[in-house]
Structure 1
Amino acid sequence: MVEGNTVANTLKKILDELEEGDLNNPFLDAQLLMTYVLNVDKTYLFVHRDQILEQETVDKLMDLVKKRKKGYPLQYIIGKQEFMGLDFYVEPGVLVPRPDTEILVESIIDRVKAMGHTGNKINIVDIGTGSGAIALSLAYYIKGAYIYAIDISDKALNIANKNCKDIGLEDRVVFLKGNLINPLEKFHLDDRINIIVSNPPYIKSNEIAQLQTEVSTYEPKLALDGGDDGLDYYREIIPIAKRYLINRGILAFEIGYDQGDSVSELMKSEGYVEIDIIKDLAGMDRVVIGKIQKEN
């Protein structure tokens, strides 16, 4: 029997350590940490179970394991997160893209298909782009989409720009710095935007500390805090979005699990119609999407 620092033994050692922490999937985390440090895929870990690892490699692994055990986001350690089938670079200072946000992107893609889009230009605005996950996914999957991606954070815009270049979408995505939709003013786009999308901060201020450690401690509070009731940014975006959207243009948000009715009412009060609340796989409210009906 092969003993010592084999791939199999080291993987078990990592798993034992991570299982002591408050993590959702310690086995997957253990695998991803090993594949990251060894620069291999997951299959390699099983095919080469008896391979002996250098002590230096094991030490490096265990240092990263200690960080992860404390709740430090795995995505910040390995520098990436998969979203909509694409790899996005992430680092501290930018929100990690979540699988639930794919529901928002898929909802917009479905609406565009239902419109019978044939590849003609569609102007889309992404407010609070972060790593660029929403904007770049829409540009990638909707041919003819031209995206204005806005964020107030220089770090977020730098990371989003990197992701844009890595995916090869520089010709159809422009990044703008500023608060909410304000940077669009200089482009004279009133009544010319087909879709506005946002995953704004929507956590109630007093609930941030109750989130998982990896979110509450390590992810940027600016991207989480939605004010006392979590609705501050919806109240700001919904009225001003009307200025830029074409008649029957789409406004789509990611929302908190208990915000579907509240955001829908805010949209209705500003003249939006055909409003749908879309639930995630857990049956919780996740997306609100509707169209603006402008008077003739």
Structure 2
Amino acid sequence: MVLTVDGLRMRYGDTEVLHDVSFDAGPGEVVALLGPNGAGKSTTIEILEGFRLRSAGRVEVLGVDPAAGDERWRSRLGIVLQSWRDHGNWRVRELLHHLGSYYAPYATSAEPRPWPTDELLDAVGLTAHAGQKIRTLSGGQRRRLDVAIGIVGRPNVLFLDEPTAGFDPEARSEFHDLVRRLAAEQDTTILLTTHDLDEASKLAHRILVLTAGRIIAAGTTAQLTKLIAGEDEVRWTIDGRPFRKSTEDSTAFVRGLFATYGEAVAELEVRRASLEDTYLALVREQS
């Protein structure tokens, strides 16, 4: 496994913010960490990145305890924080080229580094802005640069903290494509924290729901949806009379409905439980 977390605990004074958190992730896997503010998402990420010492439990990232990770180990990580506020007078290409130079000593034939600057600019959609000073970029363009900074070293593990905040729909779609390529083509393991449930559903192979420092559910979108809201709702009318039915197999039910009533069925609506429904139900159960 690329990431292994077993019995992770974190305490600040008398307050325990992580309680026996356990999960893992393999090469090329995208794992989304969902949870309300204060759930412990940022603390978990910071421990995995080696920025915070845990109170108890076993943690390994790329086979190394983050608390003991050296510079070569750190060169294999990519981090995209919620925001960056420096480097305003640098030009985009110059900054990426400069930051990339720090990764060159850690390059191998199996893992070439850094990402060539022009290829990276193209990957994040900033080629047209390569010569601009960073302080002149729009919010969405700046966020793309944040992502480029995070992946300039071709990381084996990428931590994304609310990565598409400030993106317009087109930029968000392009970023999602980039994440999929990193996972599929470069076997990058990605741990994503987001409040965008649709984003988690589109990108993640697995979703972990963290509440009050505990993982209360884990699985694919389909598995989590079935866990809480296992039944679809079918609505229809016959001769103007409304009907409603909850069923675990809406496709089979609708097929049977038309076999019985044919064209008399009108205003048919099938509402399948969403990840948002499931997430809200899970969080409410813990409140």
Same fold (TM over 0.5): no
Of Structure 1 and Structure 2, the greater strand share is in 2
Larger Rg: 2
Give the TM-score taking structure 2 as reference length.
0.28
